Amino acid sequence: MNVQEILLSEYGNASSIPSPVNRMMTAFAGDFRDGYDVNLGAGYVNERTIPRQLIELAYREVLAQPEKYRAALNYGGPHGSHNLIESIRRFYIDNRVGGLTDSILREKEILIGANGATSLLEGVAHLLPPGIVITSDPMYYIYCNYLERVGFRVVTIPEDENGIQTDLLRERLEKLGDEKSEIQCFYIVTINNPTSVILSNTRRRELVEIATRLSRELGRKIPLFFDKAYEDLIHDPMVERPTSGFLYDEIGIVYEIGTLSKILAPGLRIGYLIGDDGPFLRAMIQRTSDVGFSAPLINQEIASYLLDHHIREQIEKVNRGYRDKARRVKAWIEQLLGDAVLEYRGGQAGFYFYFTLDDVETHESSPFFNFLTRSTGNEEIDGSPNSRHPRVVYIPGEHCIHPKGDMVQVGKRQLRLSYGFEDLDRIRAALSFMREAISYCETRGK
């Protein structure tokens, strides 16, 4: 008898094919040569920003104080560690994060995801009914790819240097007509990934107004999720401090999602959600329980200890590092790539630059990509099969642009460069290879 493959759900089927970025990064990681190939694609934080010694200290302190950090190696509760929740609250108040005050925050619930901000985003997708999610273009491709696999329709609105363009958003909502009723949420990354564009405070307020108006029109709350993954990494001192969407929220639709991945360590897997109590929030807590009871309690307590004792100098240190790197990389971009770059964004926050090249395509079948991954078929460029020249990987714009959005054409000439993970000398080398790749494309007439 012929035995067929295991039957999969629609989501299962969609997930059985690796996403384009996963496929690309896996292909590259397979034979990555440390210190030789350059990975400008990974969204990894810089290893030097991870406070190894402080984490070690925090671990010891937590275990040494069982009266404060109770049963830290046992199961935790799905809401999150009480210590950590209070530490996050204090961190917000002491640093006036988003302009929030004690009285505003006291009215909000804070909950800790099972496995970073990612698990909270997953929870949102699991708990909302299928429909439309509105976000910006370029979009956070990892989550948007997931949303589409679970059956959401992602509608993207182009971004400019101040974030998602609210006038275009209003026009788009108008155009959606009856389909507006299918909108389930807005998902806005406040320091966008891939572009590192910082959502301006004016835009932030407008977004809350737009979502509030839509909620009133449809007669149900349309949540507006602000993903603040990079908001503690604004390293350019000239940038206005972001204000929280809560300050404009009249009807309780704003939720903020934060993470300690970028300022402490992704490996702790601590993400949190702030918002009003209600059926949605309670379902999120149940979801955490369903997928693993809680984030590892020991990690939550370590994070709590670090927030209470060391966070200020840690954030300063992290930002100093990225600020210096951004400055150097920016100078090299201008010096080495010059006119070939029509426009670039980033360098003020987070650790990405996002380029639009003038005349050169960047997608996976482009000569530019082939040159940098040493797969042109020309041995002079690629090196010999046994000793290939250094390869450079980046995220092609086409993976960050929605295929049905307005930016498909320009996306083919865009790319995200991460200056987080690699050291400066490697990044400089990679930019020189990019220069060579551009010259190669020009001589080919492309």
Strands 352-357 and 341-346: antiparallel
When binding is defined by CB under 6 A, the residue of 118, 156, 200, 294 that contacts ligand PLP is 118
* By the rule CB under 6 A, 189 interacts with ligand PLP: yes
Q: Measured between alpha carbons, how far is 437 from 417 in angstroms, rounded to an integer?
A: 15
Q: Measured between alpha carbons, how far is 364 from 411 in angstroms, rounded to an integer?
A: 12
Reference 420, options 230, 136, 165, 259; nearest CA is 230
Tokens for 287?
Answer: 């979801």
Rounded least distance, CB 271 to ligand PLP, Å: 4
* By the rule CB under 6 A, 43 interacts with ligand PLP: yes
* By the rule CB under 6 A, 292 interacts with ligand PLP: no
User: Are 119 and 288 in contact, with CB atoms under 8 Å apart?
Assistant: yes
Residues 6+ apart with CB under 8 A from 346: 195, 196, 197, 326, 352, 353, 354
* By the rule CB under 6 A, 349 interacts with ligand PLP: no
DSSP, collapsed to helix, strand or coil, labels residue 372 as helix
Beta strands across the sheet bearing 163-164: 109-112, 271-275, 254-259, 224-227, 183-189, 132-137, 153-160, 163-164
* By the rule CB under 6 A, 256 interacts with ligand PLP: no
Find the part of the chain contacting ligand PLP (CB under 6 A) among 259-267, 285-293, 316-324, 431-439: 259-267
Find the part of the chain contacting ligand PLP (CB under 6 A) among 3-11, 83-91, 116-124, 240-248: 116-124
Rounded least distance, CB 225 to ligand PLP, Å: 10
Rounded least distance, CB 240 to ligand PLP, Å: 20
Q: Measured between alpha carbons, how far is 283 from 278 in angstroms, rounded to an integer?
A: 9
Rounded least distance, CB 300 to ligand PLP, Å: 13
* By the rule CB under 6 A, 261 interacts with ligand PLP: yes
Q: Which is nearer to ligand PLP, 43 or 346 (CB)?
A: 43
When binding is defined by CB under 6 A, the residue of 69, 91, 92, 140 that contacts ligand PLP is 140
* By the rule CB under 6 A, 259 interacts with ligand PLP: yes
* By the rule CB under 6 A, 116 interacts with ligand PLP: yes
Q: Measured between alpha carbons, how far is 191 from 163 in angstroms, rounded to an integer?
A: 8
Q: Which phi and psi angles does 139 have, rounded to 5°?
A: -115, 165
* By the rule CB under 6 A, 366 interacts with ligand PLP: no
- The 388-417 site mask, x for binding ligand PLP (CB under 6 A), equals ------------------------------
Q: Which is nearer to ligand PLP, 323 or 416 (CB)?
A: 416
Find the part of the chain contacting ligand PLP (CB under 6 A) among 122-130, 159-167, 258-266, 394-402: 258-266
Q: Is the bond into 396 cis (omega within 30 degrees of 0)?
A: no
DSSP, collapsed to helix, strand or coil, labels residue 274 as strand
When binding is defined by CB under 6 A, the residue of 184, 193, 304, 348 that contacts ligand PLP is 193
Find the part of the chain contacting ligand PLP (CB under 6 A) among 6-14, 63-71, 115-123, 246-254: 115-123
Q: Measured between alpha carbons, how far is 160 from 201 in angstroms, rounded to an integer?
A: 14
Rounded least distance, CB 228 to ligand PLP, Å: 8
Partners of 234 in the beta sheet?
Answer: 349
- Binding stretches for ligand PLP (CB under 6 A): 43, 116-118, 140, 189, 193, 227, 229, 259, 261, 266, 271
